[in-house]
């Protein structure tokens, strides 16, 4: 098609080639880098609206400003009660300051909140530690034999006094005969010589017969 020609039209395989983009006229062309002025409809003040805004902005106030409550107040990280209350009176054997407005201070309130968070953290940690210890003790208790203690008794109160089950022993220190005698209690404060052992299962009647027979 190109007939062995080396022209642009032959090499690009087109019928017509595009011309150069010309700006201006041949007699008065635009200079390089010169930008033509924008149309009049794109300049000047445009169409404007005033949509509503969320929250309390200064536009909704008559004075066109937000009146801050604590504007101009000096910064105070703590309340000096010694300066505010130079005279203290005795009341309930104490002369402490009246601190009813103590937690109106933001810094003091944050300190108290941090203290409560730390107390809660330590309490949860102690409960978890106690639960682990209880599981370990329960696991060890199932392996070893449980011995009776003098605090234990029959399952029902009407079993007290029956032969071979729970006979009330004589105690010269008690004013009247009672089965649950404090002088036989292993964990009583006035019986340091009695050996303190673990509590056995009071639901097993065989243990009761073995102890109180």
Could you please report the per-residue DSSP string of 50-92? ----SS--GGGSTTSS---TTTTPPP-SS--HHHH------BT
Residue range 127-166, pLDDT digits in tens? 999 999 999 888 877 766 655 555 566 777 777 777 766 7
Structure tokens at 147: 């011995």
User: How confident is the model at residue 156, as a pLDDT?
Assistant: 77
Structure tokens at 66: 């937000």
More confident residue, 122 or 37: 122
Q: How confident is the model at residue 90 (pLDDT cuts 50, 70, 90)?
A: confident
Say if residue 124 is in the same domain as residue 168. Answer: no
Domain extent, residue 133, equals 102-143
Q: Looking up tokens 């949860």, which residue turns up?
A: 124
Say if residue 107 is in the same domain as residue 137. Answer: yes
Residue 85 placed within a domain:
no
Q: How far is CA 83 from the centre of its chain?
A: 36
d(CA 152, CA 179): 10
User: How confident is the model at residue 74, as a pLDDT?
Assistant: 83
Q: How confident is the model at residue 179 (pLDDT cuts 50, 70, 90)?
A: confident
Residue 108 placed within a domain:
yes
pTM above 0.75, yes or no: no
Residue 81 placed within a domain:
no
CB count in 10 Å sphere of residue 85: 13
Structure tokens at 148: 């009776």
User: How confident is the model at residue 127, as a pLDDT?
Assistant: 95
Say if residue 211 is in the same domain as residue 152. Answer: yes
Of 74-83, 121-130, 134-143, 171-180, which has the strongest mean pLDDT? 121-130
Count of structural domains within the chain: 2
Asked if 97 contacts 85 with a C-beta cutoff of 8 angstroms, the reply is yes
Q: Looking up tokens 């203690």, which residue turns up?
A: 149
């Amino acid at each position: 098609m190109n007939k062995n020609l080396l022209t642009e039209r032959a090499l690009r395989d087109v019928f017509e080639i595009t011309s150069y983009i010309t700006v201006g006229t041949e007699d008065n062309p635009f200079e390089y880098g010169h930008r033509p002025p924008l149309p009049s409809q794109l300049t000047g003040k445009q169409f404007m609206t005033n949509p509503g805004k969320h929250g309390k902005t200064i536009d909704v106030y008559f004075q066109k400003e937000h009146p801050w409550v604590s504007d101009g107040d000096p910064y105070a990280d703590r309340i000096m009660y010694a300066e505010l209350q130079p005279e203290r009176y005795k009341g309930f054997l104490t002369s402490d300051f009246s601190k009813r407005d103590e937690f109106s201070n933001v810094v003091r309130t944050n300190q108290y909140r941090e203290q409560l968070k730390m107390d809660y953290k330590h309490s949860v940690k102690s409960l978890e530690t106690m639960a682990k210890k209880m599981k370990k003790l329960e696991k060890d208790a199932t392996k070893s034999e449980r011995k009776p203690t003098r605090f234990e008794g029959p399952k029902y109160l009407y079993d007290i006094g029956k032969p071979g089950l729970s006979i009330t022993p004589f105690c010269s220190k008690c004013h009247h005969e009672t089965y649950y005698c404090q002088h036989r209690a292993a964990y009583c404060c006035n019986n340091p010589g009695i050996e303190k052992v673990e509590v056995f299962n009071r639901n097993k009647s065989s243990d009761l017969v073995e102890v109180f027979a």
